[in-house]
Amino acid sequence: MRNKEALRIICPNGHLGFACTKEESFYIGAETKPDYYCCDSGSDDIGPVPLGSDTCVSPRNWQIHDLELMLLAARKQGVPMIIGSSADTGTNSGVDSYIEIIRDLALKHRLKPFKMAYFYSEVEKSYVARKMDSNIPIEGLDGRSNLTREELDSTSRIVAVAGVHPFIKALEAGADVIIGGRSSDAAVFAAPALFHGFSEDLSYYLGKVLECASFCAEPYGAKESVIGTITDQDVKVTAMHPGQYCTIASVAGHAMYERSNPYFEAFAGGTLDMRHCKYEQFNEKTTRITGSKFVPIEGKTKVKLEGAGFVGERYVGIVGVRDPYTIKNIDKVISWAENEAKSYFKNQDFQLHYHVYGKNAVMGDLEPVKVIKSHELGIVVEALAKTKEMAKEAAIMGSRQIFYARLPEVKGTAGTAAFLFDEVLPVSPAYQWTLNHTIEVDDAMELFDLHEIVVG
């Protein structure tokens, strides 16, 4: 489909709902009437706990705020709105929560009926097991080995990471609003560009530069809106905040950050090669980019899987240490506390982790580097076990034993050595990443269940 010489997409937030979108720059961008309102709402940067426990780390009111801004502006213009990785992790419950919010907002503002498409991304463990039983390897990413049955069995929840395909299918069906399960950040923006017939080379770069919103601008200012424009010849990105600018340095720097190889980025179906990108200052607030190249992957279609598994219930204790001798010997103190806990619990299954803060502060801006010896330490004692009761007891044991560490050369009481809060604190259960793998599929839509409804 090609009915535009240029396509303009606004991105108001690098992670919808994680912190509220700034309204001033959003409304400035909306006044220019972009063709699409697109935003990603998830990330694995938040760790495995939300996925494993099927919970959300972003307050619902913040999510409503951001969705309301986008929905009202998009419906006022009559242009599409696209959301990926709903509610932080893109689980089925996250998609359902966003559908509910959109419906409530449509009712609240008495919007005219519109078509909403949505897709789910969760994958059943039984599906993965059948692939493994058919001798199809589930290949590890970032140094991981191929998935084992033990890893699969220990997994609580799996999501597949969608590429552009379900978004394009939804646009082909005439969707006004698209609510996506777990998705590649850049696919949310690349999909409409591809749908309108722009090249893969530039469409995927457009997605890359827009995915984090104003992180590609300077000076640093999160949650501000930017607009990306794609043509047959180039991509341009423009900062909307009056005090921000998309410069050669800020745009190129963003394109290369967080990459083990800064010149390449993997997507479902291929790799974006940025080695020959050319960055030009188009005007004060806009940088122009040319030269990106999308290299398709030959052979079977592969989709990334993310999975998280339960480790244990968790409590934490907080301890402060001011005694100079104890600070000097803090590693011995922690070792003593750990051994006492192991002796008490004997062969029971638990974990203790000590996180020491304030140890030998480094003043890195000085030449030569100056190390300042700490006069006080803060120690977070993290205890994990299969039950809350044991996790609580282990946290108490691991914290209090810091008081009683038997150090050489200490005579009589060591009562000034440490202080701690009276109670240990319950925190979220601990989960770990169990899947960061790819799986072969016969069709790019195989793992993504697309639905359409009319709202209003």
Indicate the average pLDDT of the chain.
92
| Domain final residue pick, 246, 275, 298 | 298
Residue 380 in any domain: the answer is yes
Per DSSP bridges, beta strands 81-88 and 114-120 are unpaired
Which residues in 221-234 are b (16+ Cβ under 10 Å) and which e? bebbbbbbbbeeeb
Q: Which range is least confidently modeled, 58-72, 253-267, 359-373, 418-432?
A: 359-373
The pLDDT value recorded for residue 253 is 92
- Whether residues 77 and 169 fall in one domain: yes
Q: C-alpha distances in angstroms, 73 versus 84, 121, 263?
A: 18, 27, 35
Please report which residue ranges of 287-424 form alpha helices under DSSP H: 324-328, 330-345, 388-400
Tens digits of residue pLDDT in 31-48? 999 999 999 999 899 999
In a shared domain, residues 219 and 365: no
Task: Report the pLDDT value the prediction gives residue 416, as an integer from 0 to 100.
Answer: 47
pLDDT at residue 363 is higher than 50: yes
Domain with 321 in it: what CATH number? 3.30.70.360
- pLDDT attached to residue 161: 96
Q: Is residue 82 part of a domain?
A: yes
| 450 occurs within a structural domain | no
Give percent of the chain above pLDDT 90: 80
Residues 199 and 84 in one domain: yes
Q: Which residue has the higher pLDDT, 102 or 406?
A: 102
* Number of separate domains in the chain: 2
| Nearest C-alpha neighbor of 183 from the set 114, 96, 118 | 118
Rounded mean pLDDT, 107-117: 98
Residue 71: closest CA among 105, 42, 95, 33: 105
Report d(CA 167, CA 164) in Å as an integer: 6
Looking at per-residue confidence, does 358 or 422 come out higher? 358
Domain presence at residue 315: yes
Q: Where are the beta strands (DSSP E) in 191-300?
A: 226-230, 235-239, 264-267, 270-273, 278-283, 286-290, 293-296
Tell me which of 304 and 323 has the higher pLDDT: 304
| Amino acid symbol at 186 | A
Q: Please state the rounded mean pLDDT for residues 291-315.
A: 93
pLDDT of residue 347: 86
In this predicted structure, the answer to whether residue 300 has a pLDDT above a threshold of 90 is no
In the predicted structure, residue 61 carries a pLDDT above the cut 90:
yes
- Mean pLDDT on 2-28: 94
Q: Is the pLDDT of residue 170 over 90?
A: yes
What does the pLDDT read at residue 392?
A: 96
**Mean of the pLDDT values across residues 71-94?**
98
In terms of residue numbers, what domain contains 382? 310-433
> Does 403 have pLDDT greater than 90?
no
Tokens representing residue 385 in the block:
């076990």
| Confidence class for position 257, pLDDT limits 50, 70, 90 | confident
Decide if 178 is inside a domain: yes
Q: Let me know whether 43 and 111 are in one domain.
A: yes
- Is residue 152 one of the residues assigned to a domain? no
How much is the pLDDT for 261? 64
pLDDT average, residue stretch 317-335: 90
Lowest mean pLDDT among 96-100, 228-232, 400-404: 400-404
Q: What is the pLDDT of residue 366?
A: 55
* In-domain check, residue 128: no
> Which pLDDT belongs to residue 13?
97
Give the range among 248-252, 287-291, 363-367 with minimum mean pLDDT: 363-367
| Stretch 432-447: mean pLDDT | 95
pLDDT recorded at residue 422: 63
What integer is the mean pLDDT of 173-198? 97
Are 314 and 294 contained in the same domain? no
pLDDT at 414 over 50: yes
Question: Which of 103-112, 150-159, 379-388, 418-427 is least confident?
Answer: 418-427
